[in-house]
Amino acid sequence: MRSAFQLNSRLAALAVRNARRARQTAAMAFTTNECDPTAASASTGVDQHSLPEPSPLYAGTGLDVWTMMNQAAAEVGAVNLGQGFMSFPPQAFIRRAAQEALEENAHNQYAPPRGRPALLEQIAARFGPTLGRRLDVASEISVHAGANEALLSVFTAFLTHGQAHEVILMEPAFDQYAPNIAMAGGKPVYVPLRLQADARKVVSSDDWKIDMAELEAAVSPKTRILVLNTPHNPVGKVFTRDELAQIGAIAERHNLLVLADEVYEHLTYAREHVSIASLPRMWERTVTVGSAGKLLGVTGWRVGWAIGPRALIQPTLAAHTRIVFTANTPLQEGVASAMRQAATNGFYDAQRQEYQRRRNRLIEIFDDAGLPYVVPDGAYYLLVNASAVRLPQDYPFPDAIASRGPNFRLAYFFIREFGVSGIPPAEFYCEPHRHLAGDYVRFAFCKTDEGLDAAAVALQKLKRHLQSE
């Protein structure tokens, strides 16, 4: 029997010989290939200069509309009425709630995936009465990293890759919906709201109607989800109880899940907001999504929630757990504290009045400029019809703008020539329906009085570009 020493010596010698051969082989390869970068790929079959191709979903993606318009506005110092973030600070009690939450050590560690108990209780207290029921915080609410992640979690939970499941979107539709659906393996199907009035005049957001027959005709055996946004971005439409009942009846007939995006529920102007989940037989098939960013004016906090029956929230929570695991702890606690105070200090009523005042101010500005618009009954956007604005045929639009169509060119012209930034609503339509955006530009009025006043001055230049009837 060989000794352990002899065996180890033979193994060591074998290792030395193998290492020597490896070095010789590497040296030969280096000598052969150092001036011929194709030689390595020829010997291995792999192109050393290429990387795996990105997913087609993202490979051709250029700048998103928000970055594109914000950059254009920054280049010329335009008044930014484009993206819907607040240009004024949150109320002091809201900021203080977040600051105090950070001081508690336990609030700086992971939260339960479902959400912090304090926030779950406040969500239940605020939205239970709206939905006409006592919400179970242990099974009927989940807290998310913003409303957008709540939407993605619902899509992920109820769509299956490879099954071509369909989701109905009512256009104009917030531009995050379709990518979220695609990421979850689904296919968006579009049904547009249609303006039942003369766009060249001031109209109401209630003049935008969904054709219920067209909506039902879009349902197929593969349809699983219908997305409802009320109050609506960007139209400002607040769906009536009768409209919601008709939509609910379609969902019942075809056994659809309704995903109700109600992030602007607290911002309505002389209109009643009705949650579709509060209607008879709709609770069982509806997930309602909300947002602390919109509710409290803190869009950067990224705290949202989903509310619904256990059968819908449990898979939504499971998807959320695998997407982000949990939303950030201190701001959950900050939102909980702010909501607790807002319930008794008159914040929500005062906020609604302030937004209505800002809405009326922006309406006055465009009245003076001579452009018609859609009077919003909810949210904080004004769609302005700029068909009367003359665009020079030889205007030097950047290729990135020109290639996106006339609605993008119109919004860009507002930025460069009038110094006011808006968003082209064509971004909220699928390609075949982009013409329905017409000559509208979306402007946000969640801005300071100084910002709105600056816009009023800047838009005086617009009058020189108006074409007569």
The predicted model gives 419-441 an average pLDDT of 95
The predicted model gives 80-98 an average pLDDT of 94
Query: pLDDT averaged over the chain?
Result: 90
pLDDT in tens, 127-156: 999 999 999 999 999 999 999 999 999 999
Q: What are phi and psi of 420, to 5 degrees?
A: -135, 130
Residue the block writes with tokens 């309406």: 363
343, HSE (Cβ side, Cα atoms, 13 Å): 13
* Higher pLDDT pick, 27 / 67: 67
- Answer yes or no: is pLDDT of 31 > 90: no
pLDDT in tens, 161-180: 999 999 999 999 999 999 99
pLDDT in tens, 344-371: 999 999 999 999 999 999 999 999 999 9
What is the structure's pLDDT at 45? Answer: 57
Structure confidence at residue 49 as a pLDDT band (50, 70, 90): confident
List of residues 6+ apart from 376 with CB closer than 8 A: 205, 231, 235, 236, 237, 269, 359, 382, 383
Q: What are phi and psi of 433, to 5 degrees?
A: -105, 5
What is the structure's pLDDT at 47? Answer: 61
- Answer yes or no: is pLDDT of 217 > 90: yes
**Torsion over CA: 432, 433, 435, 441 (sign):** negative
List of residues 6+ apart from 425 with CB closer than 8 A: 172, 234, 383, 407, 437, 440, 441, 442
Report the alpha-carbon distance of residue 368 to residue 347 in Å, rounded: 32
